[in-house]
Amino acid sequence: MIWRYPEYCERFRCSAGECSDSCCIGWEICIDPETARRYSSVEGRFGEKLRENISEGAFVLGEGERCPFLNERNLCDIYIQLGEDALCQICTDHPRYFKWFGGVKEGGVGLCCEEAAKLILSSPPVLAERIVPDEEAPDCDEELLRLLTDARRELTSRLWEGSLFSALTSAVADAERLQEILDFGELRLPDWEELPAASCNEAEWTEFFAEMEPFDTQWPDFLRRCVELKNVPEELSPEQEEQLRRIGAYFLFRYFLGGVFDGEIYSRVKLAAVSVRFIGWLWRCRSAETGSCTFEDCVQISKAYSKEIEYSEENLERLLDAAYDRPIFGCI
C-alpha cells in the first residue's frame, strides 16, 4: 500500500502542557472498544478512577469541559501513569487524519491544532510517499483515482501561478469544467486556463458562518467584531499570501480525493477557495482591529476556523452544500 503525506508531518510534535488551547478541553473524547477493555482491567486506585470517569463509551468531562485525566499542568495522567500505548485511539491520532483509497492511504495533520497550523503555514506542501503493509480500505475506481490525483497535483501547483485570488478563481473554474466532464462519464482532465481574480465581498459571507452552531463561544463574537470594523486593509503581505496558498494546498490535499467515492469535485475545490479567502479576510480584520496580524495571530485564526468548520460534520456539510446553494459564494 502507498502511504502519502505532506513531508512536514514528520516534524509534528505535540506541545502538550505548553499548548494554548488543549485538545483535551471542550472535545468529546470517545474510547475505542480495545482501549475500553484495557481500562476495565487496570488495577488499583487509578483503575478505579478510569472506570468512574467513563460513561457510554466516552470520558465524562469535568469543569470547563476538561478531560478528567488532564491535570493542573495540562498533561495527561493516563500517559503519565500507564504510558503512551494506553491512550485511546482518538488521543493517539489527533490531530492526524487518515483516508484510504483502495491501495492508497493518505493522511496529514489537521489545521485545528496550533502546532500543526504552524507547520502548515510555514512549510511548502511537498508530499512524501513510502510503501507500508496493506490495510483494510474501501474499493474505488482506480482509473478515476489516478485522474483525480493528477488533477489535484495540477490544481495545487497552479495555486502558485499569478496572484492568489486569480489562482483561486481559476481553480474553481477548472474544477467546474472537470465536474462537467465527469458528470458526462468521461475520464479526462479539462483544458486548464488562467482567469483574472474575481471580486468578492468576504464580509458578506460572515452571516453565513455566523449561522452555524459554534464550537467556541468566542467565535461568533469575533465574527461580529469583524463585520463592524472600518478601514479593513485590502491587501495582505506577501508572506501572508504565501501562507494562504499553503492553506489552500492543505484543503485540496485533505478533501479533493474524496470525490472518487461520490463524484463531487467542484464543491471540494470551492471549499478550499472559500476557506482561503475567508481566513485571509479574518487576518485583514485582525490587522484593522489591533494594528497588525502577526504569524501567531494567523495561526490562531486559522486554527479557530478549522475547529468551527472542519471539526463539525454538520458545519462542513453546510459549507460544501453552500457552494451550489448560496449566491454569495458565486463570485468564485
- Give 159-215 pLDDT, tens digit per residue: 999 999 999 999 999 999 999 999 999 999 999 989 999 889 898 999 999 999 998
In a domain, 57, yes or no: yes
Cα four-point dihedral sign 75, 76, 79, 84: negative
Q: What is the pTM of this model?
A: 0.95
| The three grid cell numbers given for residue 37, joined into one nine-digit string | 477493555
Q: What is the DSSP letter of 214?
A: P
Out of 77, 93, 109, a domain closes at 93
Helix axis angle, 33-40 relative to 44-52, nearest 10°?
130
Q: Is there a single domain that holds both residue 80 and residue 148?
A: no
Q: Residue 160 sits in which domain range?
A: 142-329
In a domain, 105, yes or no: no
In a domain, 5, yes or no: no
Q: Is there a single domain that holds both residue 186 and residue 282?
A: yes
pLDDT value of residue 77: 95
Q: Is there a single domain that holds both residue 253 and residue 313?
A: yes
Residue 95, preceding bond cis, omega within 30 degrees?
Answer: yes
pLDDT value of residue 28: 87
In a domain, 131, yes or no: no
In a domain, 99, yes or no: no
Tally DSSP H helices, then E strands, for the chain.
Answer: 14, 6
β partners of residue 104: 2, 101
Rounded distance between C-alpha atoms, residue 276 and residue 164, angstroms: 9
In a domain, 6, yes or no: no
pLDDT value of residue 267: 95
The residue ranges of the chain whose pLDDT is under 50 are none
Instruction: Specify the pairing of strand 104-109 against strand 58-59.
Output: unpaired
Q: Is there a single domain that holds both residue 204 and residue 319?
A: yes
pLDDT value of residue 168: 96
Decide: 301 and 282 in contact? Cβ < 8 Å.
yes
Q: Is there a single domain that holds both residue 85 and residue 159?
A: no
In a domain, 133, yes or no: no
Q: Is there a single domain that holds both residue 227 and residue 322?
A: yes
Q: Is there a single domain that holds both residue 320 and residue 190?
A: yes
pLDDT value of residue 26: 87
56: left (phi over 0), alpha (psi -120 to 50) or beta: left
pLDDT value of residue 19: 87
pLDDT digits (tens, 9 = 90+) for 100-141: 999 999 999 999 999 999 999 999 999 999 999 999 999 999
| The three grid cell numbers given for residue 50, joined into one nine-digit string | 478510569
Q: How many domains does the chain have?
A: 2
Rounded distance between C-alpha atoms, residue 218 and residue 80, angstroms: 32
In a domain, 237, yes or no: yes
pLDDT value of residue 328: 87
Q: Is there a single domain that holds both residue 156 and residue 301?
A: yes
Q: Is there a single domain that holds both residue 184 and residue 321?
A: yes
Q: Is there a single domain that holds both residue 84 and residue 160?
A: no
